[in-house]
Structure 1
Amino acid sequence: MGNCLSCSTKQLDSISAEECVKVFTVAELKKATKDFSKEMVRGERFGSHVRVRGYINPKTLSPAKEGVGMVVAVKRFYMFKDLDQDLQDWLIDLEFLRRSSHPSLVKLIGYGLDRRRLFIVAEYFPNGSLENHIYRETRPRSLPWKTRLNISIGVAQCLAFLHSWKKTSLSRRYLTASKILLDLEFNARVSYFGLENLPYYEEGTHVPSLDYAPPEYILSALVLYCSRC
């Protein structure tokens, strides 16, 4: 299956290759996405970042032809500087997320590195983000209140898991509807890959990525954690 994240983490137990997070080459990602063709761009997002649709073999995770392999979402992040220690810390976080994943977290399939470019390969969700269904004028249909409640519960459970794991980092990171993806049954899946400490900017700009802050935080600068979640 190629390189995997776990193999470079000495303190962790050995695991099978099938359980690893794959390290993709740029050539593999270009082949899987038709060289990041515009026709492969869809509205699902990593926060404010547009995803590109790609196809890979579900067993080998190698590139596959469109309509034949498993559909994945691929996103490019551009870094302001070489990652070095930031990257090592991020890889440790990824390994923890892989081993302790929550059912409402978007699954990370792999990643790729090319100089100051970072590529994230993750599950693909044809229903897009919650933002597409509640804010946009072009939303496909209004979500029933029962569905909205189930989405809220799933997101809350996932956030409780993330906060219990890494309180310091998450205190600076705030959820938006664009980070909540919906599966075929409209179950919520939170798009979180521990990128908040990496110095990246959005494609086509040189402006650092800024997270949304809710009004109550701007007014009080307080963050509360629930120890009973």
Structure 2
Amino acid sequence: MKELLLHLLLLHAFLAVFAVQGPVSSPIYASMAAFSPEGIQLGSEEHGKMDPPKKMLIALVVASSSLAAIVFSLVCLWVCYRKNSSKSSKNGGKSSDGEKGNGLAPFLGKFKSMKTVSKAGYASFMDYKMLEKATNKFHPSNILGEGGFGCVYKAQFNDGSYAAVKKLDCTSQDAENEYENEVELLCRFKHPNIISLLGFSSDNDTRFIVYELMHNGSLETQLHGPSHGSSLTWHRRMKIALDTARGLEYLHEHCSPPVIHRDLKSSNILLDLDFNAKLSDFGLAVTDAAQNKNNLKLSGTLGYVAPEYLLDGKLTDKSDVYAFGVVLLELLLGKKPVEKLAPSQCQSIVTWAMPQLTDRSKLPNIVDPVIRDAMDLKHLYQVAAVAVLCVQPEPSYRPLITDVLHSLIPLVPMELGGTLRVTQPTAL
């Protein structure tokens, strides 16, 4: 565009100078004069007989006509250029708004192109005032759980729908990093055993993540809360273990690059109305850990952290398998991963249970009393064997989560997602 304008200006300058100073017989001038009113009327014979003043007048008329034509062309070109620029900027603006969502805050610029598992297909930036109203100004009575950087609240919106809102105090860089990491990862995941992201928001140094509401809370609350696992039958526990294994297999085998959860525990396994389990809390999750393990800060929860990661900082997908083994022991035994023996003394479930898990005479006696007489002993021994393999101190001795998954499928009734055929109705 700039080159075209420059060429037209040069042409205009050339014609103006040539029309005033150059010879009238020039081919360029002759062709221009032929299209002027005077050229049509005078003809070639009269042209040579004209007086100098008349020649000068004709030259000025032609130069003026040329200048007018050039100016008109320049105006047309400029109008076209402005229209095209306006269209392209509008298209660019629409694309950007579609990706960001209405009112997207500047600090979330890195999430422009994130896709989520939501029906809309994109992560929604939600209005803070709407979340404040839905949680009754984050009233303590709506707290569902607490984490390292804040609480999770139950929210009810104007249309009657419910959600869970995690409120994070992000005054520290660690909290901000976990927030951004979780939102970014959840936008990529799409699996029935991974919690669904509904949106995110911000208010000064506070961040919010909005998830689907899981009405039966966490596995930790069900096992170690007031009900002490009374709602968790043997088949339900096996179903929860299977769902958890399926969620981990998705992270390890079907995500590209693979994802290591790094904080798998019973409080991060959430249960819906039908006790379907979904993995949550991906703030500490990492991708491609084999290349970045030296830059990772040691993180996790005591009792679930694999020994090689705790002692040497070595993190692999087998670290998640170890944590899964601890969860499996919780489901079997009804005990917490770490229990206090005295004010200054604790004991892990792995240390306590390991000698008894491989002894068939002792194993039935340490099973959670809620399910002690509710399962086939053969199935109990199989599950205990899987748990023992998962919590092996040496990572290479632990199975892949896919192998664990295939070991559990035959122990779960068909109506709950497994392949077990039961002669009697499944106790739910």
Q: TM-score, normalised by structure 2?
A: 0.40
Number of matched pairs: 200
Give me the whole-angstrom Cα distance separating, in 2, the residues matched to 1:85 and 1:70: 30
Paired residues for 1:191-206 under 5 Å:
191-192=280-281, 194-196=282-284
Q: Who is 2:173 aligned against?
A: 81
Q: Who is 1:30 aligned against?
A: 132
Give me the whole-angstrom Cα distance separating, in 2, the residues matched to 1:48 and 1:138: 27
1:90 shift after superposition: 5.7
1:137 shift after superposition: 4.1
Give the CA RMSD over aligned residues: 4.0
Q: Deviations over 1:170-196 (max 9, x none)?
A: 26x13111111111111111113x322
Q: TM-score, normalised by structure 1?
A: 0.69
Q: Deviations over 1:93-140 (max 9, x none)?
A: 34312xxx1101111100112232210110111211111121234447
Give me the whole-angstrom Cα distance separating, in 1, the residues matched to 2:136 and 2:249: 38
Paired residues for 1:101-140 under 5 Å:
101-139=190-228
1:55 aligns with 2:156: yes
Give me the whole-angstrom Cα distance separating, in 1, the residues matched to 2:173 and 2:249: 32
Paired residues for 1:208-219 under 5 Å:
210-213=299-302, 214=304, 216-217=306-307, 218=310
- Name the one with the larger strand percent: 1
- For residues 153 and 222 of structure 1, do their structure 2 counterparts lie closer, same or farther at Cα, with a shift above 3 Å needed? same
Provide the secondary structure at the position in 2 that maps to 1:22: coil
Give me the whole-angstrom Cα distance separating, in 1, the residues matched to 2:178 and 2:148: 20
Q: Is the 8 A contact 2:169 2:175 kept in 1?
A: no
Unaligned runs of 5+ in 1: 57-63, 199-208
Give me the whole-angstrom Cα distance separating, in 1, the residues matched to 2:177 and 2:317: 30
Q: Is the 8 A contact 2:193 2:244 kept in 1?
A: yes
- For residues 120 and 92 of structure 1, do their structure 2 counterparts lie closer, same or farther at Cα, with a shift above 3 Å needed? closer
1:180 aligns with 2:284: no
Larger relative contact order (Cα-Cα within 8 Å, sequence gap ≥ 6): 1
Q: 1:170 aligns with which of 260, 278, 284?
A: 260
Provide the secondary structure at the position in 2 that maps to 1:96: coil
1:149 shift after superposition: 0.5
- For residues 102 and 158 of structure 1, do their structure 2 counterparts lie closer, same or farther at Cα, with a shift above 3 Å needed? same
- For residues 183 and 82 of structure 1, do their structure 2 counterparts lie closer, same or farther at Cα, with a shift above 3 Å needed? closer
1:228 shift after superposition: 5.1
Q: Deviations over 1:15-36 (max 9, x none)?
A: x982222111221211111111
- For residues 197 and 107 of structure 1, do their structure 2 counterparts lie closer, same or farther at Cα, with a shift above 3 Å needed? closer
Give me the whole-angstrom Cα distance separating, in 2, the residues matched to 1:17 and 1:177: 28
Q: Who is 2:160 aligned against?
A: 69
1:144 aligns with 2:144: no
- Name the one with the larger helix percent: 2
Q: Is the 8 A contact 1:46 1:178 kept in 2?
A: no
1:77 shift after superposition: 1.0
Identity percentage of aligned residues: 27
Q: Is the 8 A contact 1:47 1:178 kept in 2?
A: no
Give me the whole-angstrom Cα distance separating, in 2, the residues matched to 1:136 and 1:88: 31
Query: Which structure would you say has the larger Rg?
Result: 2
